[in-house]
Amino acid sequence: MTTIPSTSAPVRRDKSRIRVRNTVLTILTYLIAIAFLFPLVWMFLAAFKTEAEAFASPPVFAFTPILENFKNALPSYFPALKNSLVAAVGSTLLAFALGLPAAFALAVYPTRRAQGTLTWMLSTKMMPAVGVIVPLFLLFRNLHLLDTLPGLILMYTTMNLPLVVWMMHSYMTEIPFAIYEAAKVDGASVAQEFFGIALPLSTPGMAATALLAVIFAWNEVFFAVNLTSSDAAPLSVFISSFKTSMGLFWAQMSAAAALTVLPVLIFGWVAQRQLVRGLSFGAVK
């Protein structure tokens, strides 16, 4: 009986020690997160400063926010925004048009060859862009596709097609097979299975996949820099024009960058769970 008080005291001390440890770890987590967010916060803050405040040293933390930078950045921002939107949405649509039927066929009619096809499609994603850029550049030049949106859409489709096939394949295999079998018994054609069952039942997957494809196309730099110059230049090329500004227009640059990053941030936060699936090609769920 005498053991009871002697054991309960250390247990209580243990508990309070664990609580202290937990609090310390939580504070540490917050500190690391703040450190990681700082560059972005600093950029967003600068977007609302005057140019003088933006590159004042020591840095200015308290200031009256202004909207002038956004007003100044907008005229050159809009054409690039239009190009980014068209390239991202256009390539996503094209990748869906090509990828959805393939994903459906590979999911609903799996054969030994289907697995190989799927793997091969993923392997095209392993192809560094630098391994194909030279012939593509020469080809685009001859076909007058350089600095055009169709040209950019074609390349972004290549980039997103394996993603669409893989993600949609994984969503479509989750549809209970019995539904297809029931439809088949009723005499449904392949097209009816595709439009009547597979597509409606994988709508959430399609939304997640589309978000990811748009994000990847939106953020792409290599093809944008090498295949466009002015007419079709998307936001990535527009922002890179600030790389030589040598600190002259930090506030305006921050405003343009903020406008460029914000839509993707919001998309990414929303699609966070699906992000893991898309980024690891389903290897980690």
Partner 1 sequence: MTTAVRPTTTTASPPAPKRGLRLTPAALIWPAMLYLILTTQVPFFMTVYYSFFNYNLVIPDNRPFIGFGNYATLLTNPQNLQVVLNTVILAGGTLILTLFIGGAMAMLLNRNFPGRGLLRTLMISSFLVMPIVTAVVWKNMLLNPVFGFFSWLVASLGGQPVDWLAQYPMASVIAMITWEWTPFAMLILLTGLQSLPDDQLEAARLDGASPMQEFRHIVMPHWTQAIQVVVLMETIALLQVYGEIYGSTSGGPGLATTNLPYFIYQKAFAEYNIGLASAAGVITVILTNILAVYLLRMINRTNQSNKGG
Q: Which of residues 140-199 bind partner 1 (CB under 8 A)?
A: 154-155, 157-158, 161-162, 165, 187, 189-192, 194-195
Transcribe 120-185 into DSSP letters: HHHHHTTS-GGGTHHHHHHHHHHTT-TT-HHHHHHHHHHHHHHHHHHHHHHHHTTS-HHHHHHHHH
Q: Does 102 bind partner 1 (CB under 8 A)?
A: yes
**Helix or strand run (H / E) with residue 97:** helix 68-108
Of 5 and 36, nearer to partner 1 (C-beta) is: 36
Closest distance of CB 12 from partner 1, Å = 19
Closest distance of CB 190 from partner 1, Å = 4
Question: By rule CB under 8 A, what string of x and - marks binding of each residue 223-262 to partner 1?
Answer: --xx--------xx--xx-xx-xxx--x--xx--x--xx-
Of 66 and 264, nearer to partner 1 (C-beta) is: 264
Of 1 and 278, nearer to partner 1 (C-beta) is: 278
Residues between 62 and 101 with contacts to partner 1, criterion CB under 8 A: 98-99, 101
Q: Does 20 bind partner 1 (CB under 8 A)?
A: no
Instruction: Provide the 10 A C-beta neighbour count for residue 258.
Output: 20
Transcribe 190-201 into DSSP letters: HHHHIIIIIHHH
The H helix count followed by the E strand count for the chain is 14, 0
Distance between CA atoms of 116 and 144, rounded to whole angstroms? 36
Q: Does 123 bind partner 1 (CB under 8 A)?
A: yes
Stretch that binds partner 1, among 3-11, 52-60, 74-82, 142-150 (CB under 8 A): 52-60
Q: Which two tokens stand for residue 183?
A: 């439809």
Q: Does 219 bind partner 1 (CB under 8 A)?
A: yes
Binding residue (CB under 8 A) for partner 1 from 122, 183, 201, 206:
122
Binding residue (CB under 8 A) for partner 1 from 4, 36, 62, 64:
36
Q: Mention every residue, 6+ apart, whose C-beta is less than 8 A from residue 53.
A: 60, 63, 251
Stretch that binds partner 1, among 10-18, 28-36, 67-75, 201-209 (CB under 8 A): 28-36
Distance between CA atoms of 184 and 103, rounded to whole angstroms? 19
**CB-based contact 257:239 (threshold 8 Å):** yes
Q: Does 5 bind partner 1 (CB under 8 A)?
A: no
Number of residues that bind partner 1 (CB under 8 A): 102
